Amino acid sequence: MHVLILGGTTEGRRLAETLHADGTAHVTSSLAGRVATPRMPPGEVRVGGFGGAPGLARWLREHEVGAVIDATHPFAGTISFNAALAAAEAHVPLLALRRPGWAPADGDDWHPVGSLEEAADRAAELGSRVFLTTGRMGLASFAHIRDAWFLVRSVDAPEGACPPRMDVLLDRGPFTLDGERELLRRHRIDVLVTKDSGGAATAPKLTAAREAGVPVVIVRRPPVPDGVPVAAGPEEAADWLRAYSG
């Protein structure tokens, strides 16, 4: 069976590795192309968009895709909804692979918000030295804040509108707890802003913030499209695919 993995995440890459290793399927991984040097999965890889839901549906039919796994980032909402529309139009089964979100622990001072714009306003209320870990794509939401300094961590250099007082740290997880503790201490961070991406690779910052008494502004993740089944990890997704393929 030809399986399309809408990837770009660790889970998507691990699923491609699993399917490639056991011969369950012929795998094509699709990457959005927003990261300059992505970690490439095994099997075929395509980079770039499809042209919305109609273009994706056409691609599924032309390449005789038997199943689609949406393993995109939990906040890549547009492609997830396009995948649901395209899979329905092409009559191809779709599974969403989503790592579980984070849950607060005793001692956490979390401030959940619904958008980056809300996160910017809340962060400005809570502190003046902000550790911003929401990625480079949404920095325009913070560009109007002039009374706070930002440490922005991202894989690639930011482009477009940015906060006027900002230092950039180019780095890619996984991160260590000791490293996150030192980063908060060295930069005198008094508020952390993040998305509820889930997973272990970037979770140490939450523990470090809890230990330091630093409040966390956390953007809630968008919902998976209605009717799309969800797997919590690559093995569960592989089991679903094996059961479907019979």
**62 falls in which pLDDT band (50, 70, 90)?**
very high
Considering Cα of 8, then 207, then 105, then 114, what sign does the dihedral take?
negative
Residue 73, token pair as written in the block: 């980032």
The pLDDT assigned to 24 comes to 74
For position 246, what pLDDT does the model report? 62
The domains found in the chain, sorted by start residue, are 2-100+222-245 (3.40.50.720), 110-219 (3.40.50.720)
CA distance 97 to 221: 14
- Separation of alpha carbons 118 and 174, rounded Å: 27
User: For residue 243, is pLDDT > 90?
Assistant: no
- The pLDDT value recorded for residue 242 is 87
pLDDT score of 173: 84
Cβ atoms of 230 and 101 within 8 Å: the answer is no
Residue 34 has pLDDT above 90, yes or no: no
| pLDDT over 70, % of the chain | 97
Amino acid found at 233: G
Q: Which amino acid is present at 183?
A: L
Distance in angstroms (rounded) separating the CA atoms of residues 27 and 238: 12
Using alpha carbons only, give the angle 5, 139, 219 rounded to the nearest 5 degrees.
Answer: 65
Going by pLDDT thresholds of 50, 70 and 90, the confidence category of residue 78 is confident
| Structure confidence at residue 37 (pLDDT) | 67
Tell me which of 23-32, 211-220, 225-234 is least confident.
Answer: 23-32
CB 110 within 8 A of CB 216: yes
Q: What is the pLDDT of residue 51?
A: 93
Q: What is the DSSP string of 46-59?
A: EES--SHHHHHHHH
Distance between alpha carbon 125 and the CA centroid of its chain, in Å?
26
Mean pLDDT of 211-229: 94
Q: What is the pLDDT of residue 25?
A: 86
**Over the stretch 155-209, which tens digit does the pLDDT of each residue have?**
889 988 999 999 999 998 899 999 999 999 999 999 999 999 898 888 999 999 9
